[in-house]
Amino acid sequence: MKFLSLPFCLAPLFLSSLANASQPYSDTLTGDWGGNRSHIKDNGLSLDAEYTNVYQSAVSGSPSNSNEFTHRFDLFAALDTENAGLWNNGTFRTQLIYLNGDANDFGFSSLSVPNSAHYADSSSPFFSSLYYTHKFDDNTNLLFGKIDAFELLRNAPFYGGATRHGFMNIAFSAPPSGVTPPSFIGGILNHTIGDTRITAMIYDPRDRYADNLGFNDWFDDGVNFSLGATHSFKLFDRSSTFGMSGTYSTEEGVDYSSLGETAKYKYNIRAQATHNIYENNDDTIAVYLRAAAADGNPNIIDGTFVGGLGGNAFFFDRPQDQWGAGYYYYNLSNALQNSISDLPLGAELKDEQGFEIYYAFQATPWLTFTADAQYVTPAVSTQSKVALFGLRTNIVF
């Protein structure tokens, strides 16, 4: 009876959102707060929030065959320094995250995380970011502070979604490189020349995602340098991009060839390409390809490939909906695989791969339901291939 009454409970909210579609913040559940939300934004402060819950079940292959139901709440705050009466072209941003429920515990080992919204294992609220952005002109901006890499990719069309939208697996929401953690302290400089965007980064290699605002021990583990460029162009009269990036790290790690000593210096070199195979105004279907090579010791990765198709569902007359289908392959460290094979463990470390497909149904601008299916081949040779099914609900307040 509770489930039967749910549509009737939501109906007034749907009708209200349609009636107020032209009002400020009509794409949120709580709207403009009687004009107060717009007022405080005019004075420099922006407040936003999202709630995400994920149901995930192991359909086959998992020894636990468990079901997981998790909750996530995100609070975003931004201070525009110009509107606040301070200085021009600056913005402070922060994000507070609260997680509830057990996730990613299906009895198999993988570098990929099936529910990346619960990448962190924390029962207490934490700040994933606190940083400052300065816009020098229309072509150049600088970010520095504690930066959430998941959130930087929020609006990326395929590799992104900030764990709350798009693909659920971290292989797509923030493809692992072995050198860049999901949250870090450092600086990012972006500069655009014509159709080419150049990005330079210097940052601490330590993962600080759930460390709140611990700004101590900066660069004690080393320093990472990254340089990349992405060029936008037309191919067969359709939008395309090609990008290259390289990251070098002085961070120390386990020497996988001996498993008893330390090794230093890691790198990751990546190439990425996109091409719209169908394009009609805002309706698109695109192919995405991303390949990387890494050192493999002390980086746990020797190389990766992530690719697939994605776009909006104009073919269902629902251009507001999004979908994607992708495949990933992790060539894990050969040095580590060889060392493990020499141990009497009864198991070997293999390369990992998986497939994911999702469809995101936008019921209203502030309410999205996502159906998701994954098929994962774990890295441990004695573990079975696992099929996962997931449902995600996201509400924008």
Residues 6 or more apart from 251 whose CB is under 8 A from it? Answer: 179, 205, 221, 222, 224, 264, 266, 298
CATH number at residue 295: 2.40.160.180
Note down the domain range covering 255: 43-396
| 122 shares a domain with 8 | no
| 157 shares a domain with 270 | yes
| 50 shares a domain with 11 | no
| 55 shares a domain with 31 | no
| 158 shares a domain with 48 | yes
Number of domains in the chain: 2
Distance CA 307, CA 249 (A): 26
pLDDT of 200 reads: 99
Kindly report the number of other CB atoms within 10 A of residue 167's CB atom: 29
| 110 shares a domain with 132 | yes
Successive 10-residue mean pLDDT values, the chain, 397 residues: 43 53 88 96 98 94 78 98 97 97 85 90 90 98 96 91 94 92 95 98 92 79 96 96 97 87 90 96 95 95 97 92 97 92 87 97 98 95 91 98
| 90 shares a domain with 24 | no
* Six-digit token string for 340: 């493990």
Cα–Cα nearest to 386, from 147, 169, 141: 169
pLDDT of 14 reads: 53
Distance CA 80, CA 161 (A): 24
pLDDT of 353 reads: 96
Cis upstream peptide for 175 (omega within 30°): no
| 139 shares a domain with 25 | no
Distance CA 45, CA 82 (A): 11
| 20 shares a domain with 141 | no
| 139 shares a domain with 19 | no
What are the strands, taking DSSP E only, across the chain? 45-60, 67-80, 90-100, 126-137, 140-148, 183-193, 196-203, 224-235, 238-254, 262-280, 283-294, 301-313, 318-332, 352-364, 367-377, 386-396
| 86 shares a domain with 2 | no
| 195 shares a domain with 71 | yes
